[in-house]
């Protein structure tokens, strides 16, 4: 099947194998579809297709812009009906939704968070009455009863995996890549990243003055999960002296050496930017070894799993331990600033609004072209559908030879290696 819709980003592309057809009045779950449609009143009054939208995982700047982009393009360009499910996959499971029309979509472009609410539940592992259950079939039944033609999920790497499972179960699903971590495989950028990058950079800018005034080491922890994009970008843009990212395990001694060299050269303070997933060399090597042992299923796998979990539990305190060690090794006072969830809140940047809007519009065009089972990515200046099977389970890490790393090293920035 080849897309032939003018203006669609998939125009001329062959999507045989990724298309999933879906009957408009399938009633596998025994629901009174026509009665449900009547009860929804004007919600399903249009002649076009019907789509559902949900926001899964953590919130991220630009979600409302993406919802608006999908909804307005679906309604204006394709005469579709649009429903929004509350609180992620749980909303689909519980059949909690709201009609998304022109009035609902008006005025949300600049709002942070998501008007639909977010949730981290997995369709196949959902807490129901205190028991973890696979609710995939319930979601399929609700999808069919509402006579939806596609579900568009806004989320990160975990959402891609959950969407793939639903797709493999027969539901036509598309995803949009959102996360401040910028770690979704298959896309050049995720929406939410640029806003978080601006917030983290501004925080580092502000910390320079207090670090200089008190002759301190300021250790700034930023988010990023297990990818260093946010720390690296904010560190370079904010003039950090040391940047620590998950992709480059660090030595505390090497960091202390860099700071003491700065002091000897006349600098009275240092800014150390740490990604939340960054690890000291010995801890990193040990965790990698334990992970391999657990995966092998060897005789000591259970003990290795326990030790791995114990080391993982220590990670949230890693920045505090680093600051304490730097004080001991340098004789300088160190203070920790953890930016936390402030990086995910507030008004999305123009870059994120534009990116989210373009991806949302592209998703609506793809649904109109009967394309599903894909993530809508940005590559260069184009929106491109990427099969979910290629995306799920992968992470876009920072290459150790990335130009941002080369630029930082050229400026004398240390990475603790």
CA distance 98 to 363: 19
Cβ pair 211, 241 in contact under 8 A: no
SS3 helix, strand, coil % of the chain, rounded to 5? 45, 20, 35
Residues carrying an active site annotation:
181
CA distance 127 to 119: 12
Query: DSSP assignment, residue 248?
Result: S
> What is the full DSSP assignment across 45-92?
-SSS-EEEEEEESS--TTHHHHHHHHHHHHHHHH--EEEEETTTHHHH
Neighbour-count burial for 158-170, b at 16+ CB within 10 Å, e otherwise:
bbbbbbbbbbeeb
The C-alpha angle 272, 276, 278, rounded to 5 degrees, equals 75
**Residue 283, token pair as written in the block:** 């801890």
């Amino acid at each position: 099947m080849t897309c032939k819709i003018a203006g669609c980003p998939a125009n001329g592309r062959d999507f045989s194998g990724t298309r999933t057809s879906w009957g408009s009045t399938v009633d596998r779950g025994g629901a009174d579809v026509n009665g449900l449609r009547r009860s929804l009143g004007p919600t399903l009054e249009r002649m076009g297709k019907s789509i559902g939208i949900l926001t899964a995982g953590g919130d991220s700047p630009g979600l409302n812009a993406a919802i608006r982009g999908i909804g307005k393009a679906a309604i204006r360009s394709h005469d579709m009906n649009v429903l929004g499910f509350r609180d992620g996959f749980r909303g689909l499971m519980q059949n909690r939704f709201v009609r998304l029309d022109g009035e609902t979509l008006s005025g949300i472009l600049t709002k942070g968070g998501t008007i639909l609410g977010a949730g981290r539940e997995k369709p196949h592992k959902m807490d129901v009455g205190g028991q973890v259950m696979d609710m995939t079939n319930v979601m399929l039944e609700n999808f069919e009863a509402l006579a939806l033609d596609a579900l568009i999920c806004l989320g990160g790497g975990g959402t891609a995996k959950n969407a793939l499972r639903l797709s493999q179960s027969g539901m036509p699903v598309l995803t949009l890549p959102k996360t401040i971590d910028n770690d979704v495989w298959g896309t050049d950028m995720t929406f939410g990243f640029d806003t978080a990058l601006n917030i983290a950079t501004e925080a580092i800018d502000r910390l320079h003055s207090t670090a200089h005034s008190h002759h301190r080491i300021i250790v700034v922890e930023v988010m990023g999960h297990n990818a260093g994009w946010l720390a690296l970008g904010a560190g370079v843009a904010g003039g950090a002296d040391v940047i620590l990212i998950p992709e480059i395990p660090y030595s505390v001694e090497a960091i202390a050496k860099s700071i003491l060299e700065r002091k000897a050269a006349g600098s009275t303070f240092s800014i150390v930017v740490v990604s939340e997933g960054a690890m000291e060399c010995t801890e990193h090597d040990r965790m990698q070894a334990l992970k391999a042992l657990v995966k092998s299923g060897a005789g000591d796998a259970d003990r290795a799993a326990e030790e791995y979990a114990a080391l993982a539990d220590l990670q949230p305190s890693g920045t505090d331990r680093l600051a304490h060690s730097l004080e001991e090794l340098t004789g300088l006072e160190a203070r920790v600033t953890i930016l936390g969830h402030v990086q995910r809140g507030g008004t999305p940047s123009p870059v994120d609004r534009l990116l989210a809007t373009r991806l949302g519009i592209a998703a609506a065009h793809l649904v109109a072209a009967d394309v599903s089972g894909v993530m809508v990515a940005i590559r260069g200046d184009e929106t491109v559908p990427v099969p979910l099977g290629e995306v799920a389970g992968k992470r876009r890490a920072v290459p150790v030879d990335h130009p941002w790393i080369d630029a930082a090293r050229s400026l004398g920035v240390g990475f603790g290696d």
